[in-house]
């Protein structure tokens, strides 16, 4: 019952809602994380400058990725790391280089499919547009339209009588949103966004723009025990990781260096300079060791004793499709975070990593569940195996069980975000 739900758990999820609302794109998400870390005493360092060895919190921003870490008093060059990994991107519709198009008197925006969205979930939904604009001097400016601007209208049932027997969407023809009436004119969309950002459209030479659902997050259910929200996969984990890092940085007697690594481009394979397959995390860890006077030997010793918790959303058992899940593993909403296992290394969890995360949950008083895929269904993957293989770090894959994964709007238990943050805090503060 809601009356039995701890108030601090509700407060955490309300804060998650505010975080998601402020973060319609990966670029906004890392800016929001940076703002919160600054409030906790962290400071930004540039990759092009020399880093110092003094204790304290630091973070690096690159595009839609952020890596933040806290060096405690007395940390040695070989002090190991405890890392929470997550990703900032979500499947959506992204604007093409020549965005202005139209047909039959409708003005439209040309978009490309990013990641693996549930396409039908983007139909008949009021969409905003957000991202970054790049200027002639190489600087970037964040921009967001928080009001409904775009819509992908579905064909009426009267013109497609068989639609309820199976909806087929052509990704090129059927998903271009409308945003007005009249003839399309080159420069209209970027001119509109530049004006909102108080920029001269002639100064805008590039853009990374994407759609987002403008409907605000909401608590659902008789007792408001459910939480519906866009981009839970995976801003829920980014938010929990940032909260855990800030909490751990305020602790005493840290024996590890706590780290948050929130990457971009997980939804399309992580192959970028801001993705988990890129050099960003490895560079930060190496430079942190070197700043404290260490070399190759100390770096290898530190990594050998380090642990990463890769946190990404997982599947809650679906009441209408229970046969799609493993019959003995049915993660439930508000049952606590899930430990993900796949013997074919789609997840990196092994017995050692499982033990580390179980101990963190025990310390935090947080229940946890197990997840494996049905043998007849292909198993997804995430940044855990990439991180483990690239850096040689013991890694365990975890997450919060949700429904409607990769929809424009997903759903979790209202308590689970707080439970995950508690477990991550205990892990980082060890």
Helices (H), 212-252: 232-249
With 0-12 / 13-18 / 19 or more C-beta atoms within 10 angstroms meaning exposed / middle / buried, residue 119 is buried
Segment 64-76 mean pLDDT: 96
Find how far residue 326's CA is from the centre of its chain: 26
Residue 1: pLDDT band with limits 50, 70, 90: very low
Residue 360 confidence (pLDDT):
97
Cα dist. 134→145, 199, 208, 212, 231 in Å? 17, 11, 8, 20, 24
First to last CA, the chain: 33
pLDDT of residue 377: 87
Average pLDDT over residues 275-292: 97
Please tell me the predicted confidence (pLDDT) of residue 264.
Answer: 97
What are the pLDDT digits (tens) for 366-418? 999 999 999 998 889 999 999 999 999 999 999 999 999 999 999 999 999 99
**Looking at residue 8, what is its pLDDT?**
72
pLDDT digits (tens, 9 = 90+) for 43-61: 999 999 999 999 999 999 9
- Beta-carbon-side half-sphere exposure of residue 314 (alpha carbons within 13 Å): 36
Measured CA to CA, the distance from residue 411 to residue 134 in angstroms comes to: 34
Residues 306-361 have pLDDT tens digits of 999 999 999 999 999 999 999 999 999 999 999 999 999 999 999 999 999 999 99
Q: Whole-number mean pLDDT of the chain?
A: 95
Q: What percent of the chain has pLDDT over 70?
A: 99
Mean predicted confidence (pLDDT) in 253-278:
96
CB 384 within 8 A of CB 397: yes
């Amino acid at each position: 019952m809601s009356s039995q739900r701890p108030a601090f758990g509700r407060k955490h999820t309300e804060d998650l809602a505010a975080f998601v609302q402020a973060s319609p794109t990966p670029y906004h998400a890392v800016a929001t994380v940076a703002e919160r870390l600054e409030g906790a005493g962290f400071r930004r360092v540039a990759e092009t400058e020399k880093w110092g060895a003094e204790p304290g919190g630091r973070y690096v921003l690159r595009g839609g990725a952020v890596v933040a870490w806290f060096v405690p008093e007395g940390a040695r060059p070989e002090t190991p790391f405890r890392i929470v990994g997550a990703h900032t991107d979500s499947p959506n519709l992204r604007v093409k280089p020549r965005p202005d198009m139209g047909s039959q008197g409708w003005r439209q925006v040309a978009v490309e499919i990013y990641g693996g969205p549930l396409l039908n979930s983007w139909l008949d939904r009021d969409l905003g547009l957000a991202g970054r604009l790049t200027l002639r001097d190489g600087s970037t400016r964040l921009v967001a339209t928080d009001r409904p601007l775009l819509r992908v209208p579905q064909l009426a049932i009267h013109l497609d009588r068989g639609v309820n027997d199976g909806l087929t969407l052509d990704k090129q023809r059927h998903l271009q949103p409308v945003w007005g009436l009249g003839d399309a004119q080159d420069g209209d969309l970027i001119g509109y966004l530049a004006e909102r950002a108080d920029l001269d459209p002639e100064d805008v030479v590039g853009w990374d723009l994407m759609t987002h659902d403008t409907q605000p997050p909401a608590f659902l259910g008789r007792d408001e025990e459910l939480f519906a929200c866009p981009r839970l996969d995976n801003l829920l984990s980014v938010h929990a990781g940032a909260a855990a890092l800030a909490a751990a940085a305020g602790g005493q007697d840290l024996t590890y260096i706590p780290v948050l690594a929130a990457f971009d481009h997980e939804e399309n394979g992580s192959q970028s300079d801001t993705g988990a397959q890129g050099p960003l995390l490895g560079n930060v860890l190496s430079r942190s060791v070197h700043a404290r006077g260490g070399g190759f030997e100390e770096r290898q010793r530190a990594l050998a004793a380090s642990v990463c918790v890769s946190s990404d959303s997982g599947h809650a058992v679906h009441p209408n499709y229970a046969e799609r899940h493993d019959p003995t593993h049915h993660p439930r909403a508000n049952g606590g975070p899930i430990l993900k296992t796949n013997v074919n290394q789609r997840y990196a969890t092994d017995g050692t990593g499982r033990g580390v995360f179980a101990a963190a949950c025990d310390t935090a008083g947080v229940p946890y569940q197990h997840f494996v895929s049905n043998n007849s269904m292909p198993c997804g993957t995430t940044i855990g195996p990439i991180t483990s293989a690239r850096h040689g770090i013991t890694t365990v894959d975890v997450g919060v069980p949700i429904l409607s994964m990769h929809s424009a709007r997903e759903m979790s238990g209202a308590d689970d975000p707080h439970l995950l943050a508690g477990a991550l805090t205990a892990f980082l503060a060890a």
